[in-house]
Chains A and B, each alone.
Chain A
């Protein structure tokens, strides 16, 4: 198909990407049979579709996603979970006694799985465990940085975990909880995470993070 960009070129909203309107993917839109970029990001072909990997894309909850949220409301028939920005997850529990027995209060942090997301809102999976997080440092990142924080097959996050000794729970919605053996280790993990947030779209980041952590922790 005729395309007007080079692979991974930075494109801007309104930029013409292709004449073949049928292959429009994420971050693009079609008009008059042509494909244009809708967001700033890298233009690429993914699964045979013209796609823009947006630098800042809002999180779209998908079934099966694991996310971290803060209980924002307790009702007789369940809970509301703040997942950040415009997203609120609903945990539906028809049994009032069960709701009480879960002992979840407003302000508690939970790790949950998304069942579905659509017109009725974001529904949390009741079948999976709703894990209450008892302690840790809660860091809120833009959700578009999470893939980079995790890395291919966990390559990036494992570097941080290994060097700092911290347990790091990552939610696809951008919320991260860090628990470490010492304040220094948690601080180092936090600094590394913030560095990834800033430099998510640069190359050689994994090596830089490793070097940074070694220096910070004197390893």
Chain B
């Protein structure tokens, strides 16, 4: 089901304005095309969530919470814990979000964040196994968009990783063949930090981290993620429209630089336990 924004009518003159500015390496909010908005990260805000993080990128604000339950593993992976990612574009965030079950955009957001974490190999799921074939930890990563001024993708992933990094998981132990909850908690070790950058293309130019006014006039947008080793961990073209192959090299180069920036900011703000590289 396609979503057609009703009142978010786009003024044609804005497309021309954004494009003409881009040709001069300028943007309507004064940023350089390859400049991200200021990022702020707060963690461990909520007592009923095992982990939580509030991230803002410019005016866009995302709140993510981690809930942990015990459950059965997948039959084909009996010695691994599991995680699922859910996302809700809350109607309080924007005039273009309506209440109701997640529309295709909310589902897409959840799945894109999921893939970044899964394919990025962020979590060692074998460490989340309690009794092989019977009981494992199930990690719920629930993302809520609270305020939307363009690009909910990047800050959603940042908040998911920040919440995971600072989560306190209750430790269970086996006593007399039974699982018992102890008074202790443990932290999750993260194997990597694969961030994404949303790229918007207009004609033969592109910009990163579009704010709302820019998002409305882009020819096409996509999300690309890379990890600290320079591997690409996520690609999602998330709008109609076309992008010229010749632009891809420069886009990738920019993405790698920008995810590096996000990573540095993340390591500054978030006490994360990184697994040592083998």
Q: Do A and B bind each other?
A: yes
Where the two chains meet, the residues of A that have a C-beta atom closer than 8 Å to any C-beta of B are 70, 72, 82, 105-109, 133-138, 177, 183, 187, 190-191
Contact of A70 among B9, B24, B26 (CB under 8 A): B9
| B10 at interface by CB-CB < 8 Å | yes
| B247 at interface by CB-CB < 8 Å | no
- Cβ A138 vs Cβ B9 within 8 A: no
Q: Convert B1-36 into 0s and 1s, putting 1 for each residue whose CB lies closer than 8 angstroms to a CB of A.
A: 000000101111110110001001010101000000
Known A-B contacts A82-B7, A183-B21; A136 and B28 likewise in contact (beta carbons under 8 Å) = no
User: In the complex the two chains form, what is the Cα distance from A195 to B13 in whole Å?
Assistant: 23
CB distance from B85 to the nearest CB of A (A): 34
Contact of A138 among B11, B21, B24, B26 (CB under 8 A): B11
Contact of A190 among B10, B14, B16, B28 (CB under 8 A): B28
- Cβ B9 vs Cβ A135 within 8 A: no
User: In the complex the two chains form, what is the Cα distance from A133 to B11 in whole Å?
Assistant: 10
Residue of chain B at shortest CB distance from A86: B7
| 4 other A-B residue contacts (CB within 8 Å) besides A138-B11, A177-B13, A183-B24 | A108-B12, A133-B13, A136-B13, A190-B28
- Cβ A109 vs Cβ B11 within 8 A: yes
Known A-B contacts A82-B7, A183-B21, A183-B24; A138 and B13 likewise in contact (beta carbons under 8 Å) = yes
User: In the complex the two chains form, what is the Cα distance from A77 to B26 in whole Å?
Assistant: 41
- Cβ A82 vs Cβ B13 within 8 A: no
Supply 10 A–B pairs (Cβ within 8 Å), ascending by A. A70-B10, A82-B9, A106-B9, A107-B11, A108-B12, A134-B13, A135-B13, A135-B17, A138-B13, A183-B26
Which chain B positions have C-beta within 8 A of A82?
Answer: 7, 9
User: In the complex the two chains form, what is the Cα distance from A177 to B28 in whole Å?
Assistant: 13
Which chain B positions have C-beta within 8 A of A183?
Answer: 21, 24, 26
Known A-B contacts A183-B21, A187-B30, A190-B28; A138 and B7 likewise in contact (beta carbons under 8 Å) = no
- Cβ A135 vs Cβ B16 within 8 A: yes
CB distance from A177 to the nearest CB of B (A): 8
Which chain B positions have C-beta within 8 A of A136?
Answer: 13, 17
- Interface of A, helix, strand, loop or mixed by DSSP: mixed
User: In the complex the two chains form, what is the Cα distance from A136 to B30 in whole Å?
Assistant: 16
Contact of A109 among B13, B24, B28, B30 (CB under 8 A): B13
CB distance from B96 to the nearest CB of A (A): 14
- Cβ A72 vs Cβ B17 within 8 A: no
Interface size on B, residues (CB 8 A): 14
User: In the complex the two chains form, what is the Cα distance from A69 to B28 in whole Å?
Assistant: 20
User: In the complex the two chains form, what is the Cα distance from A183 to B22 in whole Å?
Assistant: 10
Which chain A positions have C-beta within 8 A of B9?
Answer: 70, 72, 82, 106-107
Residue of chain A at shortest CB distance from B18: A137
CB distance from B102 to the nearest CB of A (A): 26
Residue of chain B at shortest CB distance from A71: B9
Which chain A positions have C-beta within 8 A of B17?
Answer: 135-138
Residue of chain A at shortest CB distance from B6: A72
Contact of B14 among A106, A137, A187, A191 (CB under 8 A): A137
User: In the complex the two chains form, what is the Cα distance from A109 to B28 in whole Å?
Assistant: 18
User: In the complex the two chains form, what is the Cα distance from A135 to B9 in whole Å?
Assistant: 16
- Cβ A109 vs Cβ B7 within 8 A: no
User: In the complex the two chains form, what is the Cα distance from A49 to B24 in whole Å?
Assistant: 53
Q: Convert B105-131 into 0s and 1s, putting 1 for each residue whose CB lies closer than 8 angstroms to a CB of A.
A: 000000000000000000000000000
CB distance from A187 to the nearest CB of B (A): 6
Which chain A positions have C-beta within 8 A of B16?
Answer: 135
User: In the complex the two chains form, what is the Cα distance from A167 to B203 in whole Å?
Assistant: 27
User: In the complex the two chains form, what is the Cα distance from A138 to B30 in whole Å?
Assistant: 15
Residue of chain B at shortest CB distance from A184: B26
* Chain B residues numbered 22-70 whose CB sits less than 8 Å from any CB in chain A: 24, 26, 28, 30
Chain B CB count within 10 A is highest, among A70, A183, A187, for: A183
CB distance from A30 to the nearest CB of B (A): 33
Which chain B positions have C-beta within 8 A of A133?
Answer: 13
- Cβ A107 vs Cβ B12 within 8 A: yes
User: In the complex the two chains form, what is the Cα distance from A152 to B94 in whole Å?
Assistant: 34
Which chain B positions have C-beta within 8 A of A137?
Answer: 14, 17, 28
User: In the complex the two chains form, what is the Cα distance from A97 to B17 in whole Å?
Assistant: 31
User: In the complex the two chains form, what is the Cα distance from A108 to B16 in whole Å?
Assistant: 12
User: In the complex the two chains form, what is the Cα distance from A13 to B236 in whole Å?
Assistant: 48
User: In the complex the two chains form, what is the Cα distance from A26 to B11 in whole Å?
Assistant: 33
